[in-house]
Amino acid sequence: MNAYKKLMSHTRETVALKQVLGRLNWDQETVMPRGAAPQRAEELAALEKVLHARRTDPQVAEWLAEVTPKDAVADAQVYQIRRSHERATKVPADLSAEIARVTSLSQGIWAEARARDDFAAFAPTLGEVLNLRRQEADALAQGDDRYDALLDDYEPGESAANLTGMFAAMRPRLVALREKILGSETTAPAVHGPFNEPLQMELAEACARAFGYDFDFGRLDKAVHPFTSGQGQDSRITTRTSPDEPFGCFYSTIHEVGHGCYEQNVSAEYLLTPLGEGVSMGVHESQSRIYENQLGRGRAFTGWLHGRCQSAFGDMGLDGPDSFYAAVNAVNPGYIRTEADEVHYNLHILLRFDLEQALIRGDLEVADLEDAWNARFKADFGVAVDKASNGVLQDVHWPVGLFGYFPTYSLGNVYAGCLFEALKADVPEWETALARGDASPATDWLRAKIQTHGALYRPREVIEKATGKPISVDPLLTYLEEKFSDLYNL
């Protein structure tokens, strides 16, 4: 065997073991017994240590030194393996294992603190998680920016400085749009329930199928915070239900379907290799958001969904499809990011992006985080946070150590804006099909342009290849301004 074959054989097993780790995480958030958390933490730490040892294996360094990739695919595989090896060799094995152990336990502590709206009960644990991730960031950055070192895990090649510039260009237009909407005389209709939760799950499954999610290679379960887990032949999605309104369930589902389809649709030739998964969180989010928003919350699909909802729930207190469309797209300055409308969503991200940079760089203490959150929220959203579960405790990301992850959500929205502009030009029939509950013209285009490539190209590269243009915040903002001006008669 030549060096490339040895490298790929070794890596294939590493990727398979990484899938196992993902399966444990899925299990933990959906079906794991309550009392199993301490034991599970040790299981995760042991597996993390195995993965770390494989990634840092000196043989990998030797093979990497010898290898001469003979085509673009081999070149991309080697690039990803080298990236993973270099990252892993910078972080001590004990630190990796400790992070796995602590973040596994911290999730349960967070869930309990969140249920009791008690940030103080969670703060020491968050401090421990933050401290470990800062140690890791320092090991990775080797003198460069500590926050960028973490960001690079989720969005390779991206920098906080670049994102800050991009977000600065978005903010005035988003704020202006938000103020016009909230100052307008139009109010969105509200739905009236209750909405049977098993029926919501049935309709969620129908939505997933409409968007091309393949249940032979995945499943749909409930979770407190919906997520997608697993690559290739086993990419599972989750959603949540509330008896008061059904849209959270449907649009969480369609959002996760975007993630799940990205994973399911990667070319089978990349299965269990470094190219066999989505290339970055930002590109991932572009898929979930375009499925959820540009496609899922448009007039075409809401027309179809309205018919299904009428059969399941009656008139829901709405006048008809226009009223349903307005209800789905209601703009309200709510507390919860995952329930936020398209106009407010990125303001939530900006808040977290700034706070987590301050935490990681040491400009903000965990003890002061809740106050900082609440002050910033009041300033940006005009209302005071009423309880920690509506504020600083709402998201699972920081509790499990995901610092540097949040900005990829807004980046994904920007990418989704670019992709939607190109899709409309390339696939004129997308909308008439979607009105029949058939997303395939749109999702086939996304599959061919983005999803099938897995991690073959760099994040910005795959988007720019798909659109034929440089990345810009304009398409997203123009889409939002047009859509909501129409909805709110601005």
Residues with a known catalytic role:
256
Q: Minimum distance between the CB of residue 472 and a second copy, rounded to whole angstroms?
A: 38
- ω into residue 194 within 30 of 0, thus cis? yes
Query: Which residue lies nearer to a second copy by CB, 43 or 461?
Result: 43
Identify the helix (H) or strand (E) that includes residue 22.
helix 3-30
First-to-last C-alpha distance (Å) of the chain = 66
| Whole-number Å distance between alpha carbons of 73 and 83 | 15
**Residues with Cβ < 8 Å from 469, sequence gap 6 or more?**
418, 422
Q: Minimum distance between the CB of residue 262 and a second copy, rounded to whole angstroms?
A: 16
Judged on CB neighbours under 10 Å (0-12, 13-18, 19+), 273 is buried
Q: Which residue has the tokens 């209750």?
A: 194
Q: How many CA atoms lie within 13 A of 107 on its CB side?
A: 24
Query: Which residue lies nearer to a second copy by CB, 46 or 336?
Result: 46
Q: Minimum distance between the CB of residue 60 and a second copy, rounded to whole angstroms?
A: 16
The residue ranges that bind a second copy (CB under 8 A) are: 12-14, 16-17, 19-20, 23-24, 27, 31-40, 42-43, 45-47, 49-50, 214-219, 232-234, 236, 271-272
| Whole-number Å distance between alpha carbons of 88 and 258 | 29
Amino acid at 101: R
**What tokens were used for 477?**
């903002």
Ligand-binding site membership of 48 (annotated) = no
Q: Minimum distance between the CB of residue 446 and a second copy, rounded to whole angstroms?
A: 21
Q: Are 120 and 94 in contact (CB under 8 A)?
A: no
Query: Which residue lies nearer to a second copy by CB, 61 or 271?
Result: 271
Query: Which residue lies nearer to a second copy by CB, 107 or 410?
Result: 107
Query: Which residue lies nearer to a second copy by CB, 56 or 394?
Result: 56
Ligand-binding site membership of 255 (annotated) = yes
Q: Are 212 and 259 in contact (CB under 8 A)?
A: no
Q: Minimum distance between the CB of residue 231 and a second copy, rounded to whole angstroms?
A: 8
Can you count the helices (H) and strands (E) in the chain? Answer: 20, 3
Query: At 458, phi and psi to the nearest 5?
Result: -75, 160
Nearest to 345 by CA among 422, 295, 250, 416: 416
Q: Minimum distance between the CB of residue 199 and a second copy, rounded to whole angstroms?
A: 16
Specify the 3-state DSSP secondary structure of 236. Answer: strand
Compute the residue count for the chain.
Answer: 490
- Would you tell me the crossing angle of helices 342-361 and 160-183 to the nearest 10 degrees? 140
| Whole-number Å distance between alpha carbons of 287 and 447 | 10
Query: Which residue lies nearer to a second copy by CB, 19 or 467?
Result: 19
Phi-psi region of 295 (alpha: psi -120 to 50; beta: other; left: phi over 0): alpha
Query: Which residue lies nearer to a second copy by CB, 231 or 408?
Result: 231
Q: Minimum distance between the CB of residue 35 and a second copy, rounded to whole angstroms?
A: 4
Q: Are 475 and 421 in contact (CB under 8 A)?
A: yes
Annotated binding site: 255, 259, 285
Q: Which residues are annotated as a binding site for Zn(2+)?
A: 255, 259, 285
